[in-house]
Structure 1
Amino acid sequence: MINFAKFEIIGRIGEIDARPKVTLLSVCANYRRKGDDAEWTDDSYWNRVSVFAEGQRKHISDKAQVGDLVRIAGRLKDTSYERDGTTHYTTDRIVEEFGILATKN
């Protein structure tokens, strides 16, 4: 049996940070929740994802813009690093699927 940890996000791009070997995207997803006053409100959450595949990076560079509605899916990877003698733990979201659902305009 295959085991896996996956994620899926549908949201709007807030930032595109193209680096030499990775493109980092911030994508905002909105959740509806009932507030203390029993009124429904949007609860926005920013997700940071990493794109390593060269074809996807080129597609993002050529076609994607801040404000576009996108669907992103991929795998989760736990990592850690040391800084100032303290170990920090993170969960990386590595993009395997990327599609633009609607442009900003």
Structure 2
Amino acid sequence: MPRNIAEFRIIGQVGGVDAKDKVTYVNVASNYNRQVDGEWQEDTHWNRVTCFGRCAEYAGNAGKGDMVHITGRVRQTSYEREGATIYGTDLVADSFSVLNRAGGGDAG
């Protein structure tokens, strides 16, 4: 049976971790190069990843500047606010790994 999927993979540095009761949000930077007026510039994209369960535990142990590898699924969302439909996209983590600690510590 065919399986339809929408997934993501991010390798980047943690900009911040926001741990709540049952969910942890992680902001992760990914960098790309692009040309502007013939000059190459770094273009940073910030990704907000939602983590539950075991992934939330791992994410809660990550710190600012740590290099991480996250995979997961993409989920479209919508809600109503003041009569308008607001659309969004959630990145929900299935796996979360710290590759390298900021400052050169062991990812352990």
- How high is the TM-score relative to the length of structure 1? 0.91
State the partner residue of 1:77. 75
CA-to-aligned-CA distance 1:30-77 (integer Å, 9 cap, x gap): 0011111x221100010011001x22222222x310110111110011
Flag as ranges the 4+ runs of structure 1 deviating above 2 A. none
| CA-atom RMSD in angstroms | 1.0
Counting aligned pairs with the same residue, the percent is 43
1:43 aligns with 2:43: yes
In the alignment, which of 89, 92, 98 is matched to residue 91 of structure 1?
A: 89
Confirm whether residue 32 of structure 1 aligns to residue 30 of structure 2: no
**Consecutive unaligned residues in structure 1, runs of 5 or more:** none
How many pairs were matched up? 102
Instruction: Report the residue type matching 2:70 in the other structure.
Output: I
For 1:46, the aligned partner's letter is W
Aligned to 1:19: 20
